[in-house]
Structure 1
Amino acid sequence: MATKTSSNGLADALRKDSVGGFLLIAAAAVALIWANSPWSGLYEAVRGFTFGPSEPLHLDLDVEHWAADGILALFFFIIGAELKQEFVHGELRNPRRAMLPIVAAAGGMVVPALVFVLFNLTRPEGLSGWGVPMATDIAFALAVLAIIGRHLPPALRTFLLTLAIVDDLGAILVIAVFYTDDLKFGALIAALALLAAFGFLQQGRGPAAALDRSPIPNWVVYVPLAFAIWALMHESGVHATIAGVAMGMLMRSTEAEGEHESPLHRVEHMLRPWAMGVALPIFALMSAGVAFGGIAQMVTDTIALGVFFGLVVGKLVGILGGAWITTKVTRAELNPTLSWWDIAGMSILAGIGFTVSLLITELAYPGAESMLDSAKGGVLLASLAATLLSAGILGWRSTHYNRHGIPGEAGARSG
């Protein structure tokens, strides 16, 4: 009994964004130290270790890609499930409020890309990196918000969640269209067909209802189906984590007759500790280990400067400006519990590019080590600057809300 109580307590702790955030940031710090230590060769050997079947879906991946494309899909499933809840039952039911983070996300992609291009107009060979500062790392951004924003309004977390998902979808589309030469439409169509089957089974009618009444556990059907969707999405050339978002969004969020809770809530509650306590730390450990080299020369390198200012300044201007203009020219509205200072701090927080940005650097500068190092350095420095600047603003806002006794639990999501 004591062991069960202890394990339940651990699971409950891991359901909180703040705990998962600490684990994520700690794992990223370990990765950075390890990658820049005398034992960096061991680090590269570990994350470069390859395993998995090569045929027919080419899943012979190294540890780094299993972490970023594989187990991270579990986290994105949780994110998709949360968004589904918000669209059906929460903040995003109101189209006038849902529009704001979506338009802001578009501004937060376009403006950083333009900033990068402006820095590299006289350097045509570097222009292929325009997509690097477009992406927000949703895992790191939510982790930082969870740690510094305990008293911020929950609506700010929903805003960031929606914005970051739209941002990631946009970045994945950019990768598929501009940075992928071998998009496989057959695998993509097959993945979409299985997603449709997944969504049909979630309706709770017909065959789905028969499955629910069957003595066969649901996971016997859903786990292989989910893996097939993920594998086909990966094979198609589209970033496989999109499969996690899609399945989370397709989960049924209402209770059928005889159910005490919806499948979405039940599965999210079960998987959240694994996503926050296992998937995210492993992902950070395997993805964040970038060697710092030639920092001094980055100060004058246009690629590094374009990435840095694109993420730190471009995100602020694009997101905050896009949201503000939208409220002036449309019927979209900002949640009354939020102020524009909150959106400004969150816009800077969205400058944490990291994973997807680092992925795009690899695609933008294949074989060009100097430009690749400059772009990666720009991503790392921008992510650090965005973290510190947003922590200052959002920390101040959190203190303000706490001092005035305004309820706010943006950083204490517990699932």
Structure 2
Amino acid sequence: MPLSRIRWRSSAARPRTPEVPPVAAPRPPHSPDSPSRRAFLGLLSLPERRYVADALRTETVGGIVLLAAAVAALLWANIPAVSASYDTVRDLHFGPAALGLDLSLQHWAADGLLAIFFFVAGIELKRELVAGDLSDPKAAALPVIAAVCGMAVPALVYTAVNTAGGGSLGGWAVPTATDIAFALAVLAVLGTSLPSALRAFLLTLAVVDDLFAILIIAVFFTGDIRLPQLAGALAGLALMWILLRTGVRGWYVYVPLAIAVWALMYNSGVHATIAGVAMGLMLRCTRREGEEHSPGEHVEHLVRPLSAGVAVPLFALFSAGVPLSGGALAEVFARPEPLGVVLGLVVGKTAGVFGGTWLAARFTRAELNKDLAWPDVLAVSGLAGIGFTVSLLIGELAFADDPVLAEEVKAAVLVGSLIAAVLAGVLLKLRDRTYRALTEAEERDEDHDGIPDIYEAGNPQYHLRMARIHEDKAAEHRRLARAAAAAAGSEAPGGTAEGAAGSSGAGDRPA
């Protein structure tokens, strides 16, 4: 999900964010000297690192809430004393029937609340396309290829398993999506100090995942088109575009219009979440002179907490509650459809992302940061196998006519995501000491100017500040040495300060 956060620039790229003090952009540690080779997973520019840190903070908190909602749903659906009420509450219908919106609580969560999630995804995608990494074909090549392979291989794994087992091919898209919030929640629980470049790589994969998930839903899960309602939705979008371009402001204008567009889109037969994406793509995501934030960034900042803290967790609460009895879990590995989902997430996603990354690096002459190793990329590729929000949504759409199979596929998404999280967590823990050292080096700020020292290697003022700091420390240690020598001399019978200091110093020297 995440997003416009990451730009895979070379280390010499000029920062775009104006509010950061201008410092010389350093060459990432151990980066190749040849200009024909680009550093992969090297040091992010300072503005990018700060932007990624802010994004990760929000996504991690949202992911933890999402994880709690999923656990609550599983407990609610599997504790015998209250399990019956789960289906009762989830199937509760309300809404204006005259407008075609008499929906169950589960459908309100999937079609209504997730439109907010896709609205935020649309803003992030727009920013990537106009000002981020996806605007530069050369810089975008590696993460895009990795993400495309990370979606294609799971689909092929699912197709192969169901072709061999005689299952339905309708769920091929279920294991293709990555839930970045859930992946970051797993990282938060594990406490792994993953370097910012690896986290940025995971976020970039989520951007392309979101793009293709949107296309999959729009192309493959659109029902019978009702042209009058679709025309009304398109007219509402056109009106919104005109209002935005003419500078009209006010939530009281856009919120009612957005609700109307969503309702018309829902009744048109096109999945309602597409309305959220379309509205997100309309916002301007480039800054003009005098602007601290673009309109898209401002709106995203306001709406993201609602998406991450309310919309997605409520969707999880009413979608993740599947029976996990021994018989139900056995069906996950006995029937080809859920088995294809599990293998697609665990094997296909990992192999696709890792293989695509290696091939892209091989043929685009990108050289891996020498502080990292390919097993690190493999571990992050395993995290990409955590599919939740979009996977559950596609599972509901793919098997809407077979509720029993839909529940089994949901259970498969949970099982596959859990296995992927455990395997990736083990791989990351094996390198935790290395990650902590890299993270500490990125965060060290000995001159206390608010800019990590690693970003000031080419700044003469930084070195002058550090020289003064060390000179002051040296002077203080000389003063302490004289004081210690004087104290030792006064305590030694018949001795002098100089003699005591000399004997002390000699005694500390190795023989």
Helix, strand or coil for the counterpart of 1:389? helix
- Going from structure 1 to structure 2, the CA distance change for 1:47 and 1:253 (only over 3 Å counts) comes to same
Distance 1:268 1:190, change over 3 A: same
Q: How does the TM-score come out when normalised to structure 2?
A: 0.66
Q: For each residue in 1:102-158, what CA deviation from the matched residue of structure 2 results, as whole angstroms up to 9, or x when unmatched? A: 222322222112212222224434333323322333442343345557643444444
1:14–1:272 contact (8 Å) kept in structure 2: no
List aligned pairs for 1:303-314, cutoff 5 A: 303-314=337-348
Equivalenced residues, count: 386
Q: Distance in 1 between matches of 2:396 and 2:266?
A: 17
Structure 2 distance, partners of 1:165, 1:356, is 13
1:106/1:381 CA distance change after superposition, 3 Å? same
Corresponding residue number in structure 2 for 1:278: 310
Work out which of the residue numbers 238, 259, 264 in structure 1 matches 2:296.
Answer: 264
Q: State whether structure 2 residue 316 is matched by structure 1 residue 301.
A: no
**8 A contact 2:223–2:270 mirrored in 1:** no
Q: 1:6-46: per-residue Cα shift (whole Å, max 9, x none)?
A: xxxxxx99973222222111111011111111211111111
Matched AA of 1:77: F
Q: Residue 96 of structure 1 contacts residue 332 of structure 1 at CA under 8 Å; is this kept in 2? A: no
Q: Which moved more, 1:19-28 or 1:249-258?
A: 249-258
Q: Aligned match of 1:246 in 278, 287, 290?
A: 278
Contact residue 100 and residue 333 of structure 1 kept, 8 A: no
Amino acid at match of 2:95: G
Confirm or deny that 1:105 pairs with 2:140.
no
- For the residue of structure 1 that corresponds to 2:334, the secondary structure is coil
1:272 to partner: Cα distance? 2.8
Question: 2:310 corresponds to which letter in structure 1?
Answer: V
SS at match of 1:116: helix
Question: Does structure 2 conserve the Cα–Cα contact (< 8 Å) formed by 1:151 and 1:398?
Answer: yes
Amino acid at match of 1:79: A
Under a length normalisation based on structure 1, what TM-score does the superposition of the two structures give? 0.79
- Structure 2 residue aligned with 1:403, among 411, 419, 437? 437
* Structure 1 stretches lacking a partner, 5+ long: 1-11, 213-217, 409-415
Q: 1:4 aligns to what?
A: none
**1:407 partner SS:** helix
Question: How far apart, in 2, do the equivalents of 1:120 and 1:128 lie?
Answer: 10
Cα drift, residue 274 of structure 1: 2.4
Pick one of 61, 83, 95 that aligns with 1:19: 61
Indicate whether 1:160 and 2:202 are aligned: yes
For residues 87 and 50 of structure 1, what CA distance do their matches in structure 2 show?
39
- Is 1:79 aligned to residue 127 of structure 2? no
1:291 offset after TM fit, Å? 1.3
Provide the residue aligned with 1:288 in structure 2: 320
**For residue 50 of structure 1, what is the aligned residue in structure 2?**
93
When Rg is computed on C-alpha atoms for both structures, the one with the higher figure is 2
Name the structure 2 match of 1:8. none
User: Does 181-190 or 260-269 show the bigger shift?
Assistant: 181-190
Deviation at 1:75, TM superposition (A): 3.0
Q: Which moved more, 1:168-177 or 1:227-236?
A: 168-177
How many Å apart are 1:384 and its aligned residue?
0.9
Which of 56, 72, 77 is residue 30 of structure 1 equivalent to?
72
- Give the letter for the 1:238 counterpart: V
Larger RCO (CA under 8 A, 6+ residues apart): 1
CA distance in 2, matches of 1:13, 1:261: 15
Residues 60-209 of structure 1 correspond to what in structure 2 (within 5 A)? 60-145=102-187, 147-148=189-190, 151-184=193-226, 186-188=228-230, 190-203=232-245, 207-208=246-247
Which amino acid counterpart does residue 206 of structure 2 have in structure 1?
A
Counterpart in 2 of 1:361?
395
The CA deviation at 1:179 is 4.5
Q: 3-state DSSP class of the match of 1:59?
A: coil
Of 333-342 and 223-232, more deviation after overlay is shown by: 333-342
Instruction: Name 1:375's counterpart in structure 2.
Output: 409
How much does 1:302 deviate?
Answer: 2.6
SS at match of 1:41: helix
State how far apart, in whole Å, the 2-side matches of 1:334 and 1:197 are: 47
Instruction: Report the Cα distance in structure 2 between the residues aligned to 1:13 and 1:175, rounded to whole angstroms.
Output: 26
Secondary structure of the residue aligned to 1:299 is helix
Q: Deviations over 1:146-203 (max 9, x none)?
A: 5557643444444434433433443444344444442445544544454344344444
Kindly report structure 1 stretches of 4+ aligned residues shifted beyond 6 Å.
12-15, 331-338
Check the 8 A contact 2:233/2:262 in 1, yes or no.
Answer: yes
